[in-house]
Amino acid sequence: MATTQVETVNTGADKAKLAAAAALVVAALTAFYLFGKQGQLVQWGALLLGLTLAIVVFFLSEPGKALYAFGRDAWRELKKVVWPARKEAIQMTAYVFGFALIMALFLWLTDKTLEWLFYDLILGWKK
């Protein structure tokens, strides 16, 4: 049986950083609405400043550092992907559309054949 590790915030400092980040988000939203009479520049500036500070505080915590490392590793793996050439991509897209069209026609013909068979021949319900 495979065991999975669940990472939790263990240190008090990390809990405090996450709580501070959450408090900064709430403060930024509150400031956005409180500064409504001061003008949009002040309103949006307070929101962006508060959210920026919350993001900085979050990325200083261990979960934030782990998220950053995950993103960095994901980007590194994404660079290793061999993307198809334009011609290949167009061909594969054409194959998919062609298959979908053929399947749609097949299902339509099957439906109409069964409709004719049951309603017209067996039940005699002519339209």
pLDDT of the residue at 88:
96
* Span 55-65, pLDDT tens digits: 999 999 999 99
The average pLDDT across 19-34 equals 95
Residue 101 has pLDDT above 80, yes or no: yes
The first and second tokens of residue 119, run together, are 């309603």
Mean predicted confidence (pLDDT) in 20-47: 94
- Confidence (pLDDT) at 36: 87
Which sequence spans correspond to the domains of the chain? 10-81, 84-127
Nearest to 119 by CA among 110, 127, 107: 127
- Other residues' Cβ atoms within 10 Å of the Cβ of residue 89: 11
Task: Name the one residue in this structure whose structure tokens are 């200083």.
Answer: 60
Q: Mean pLDDT lowest for which of 20-24, 34-38, 94-98? A: 34-38
The token pair that represents 111 in the structure block: 């439906």
Cα–Cα distance list, 71 to 66, 82, 102 (Å):
9, 19, 41
Global confidence as pTM: 0.59
Do 29 and 47 touch, CB atoms closer than 8 A?
A: yes
89 token code pair? 């991509």
Name which of 40, 42, 46 is nearest 26 in CA terms: 46
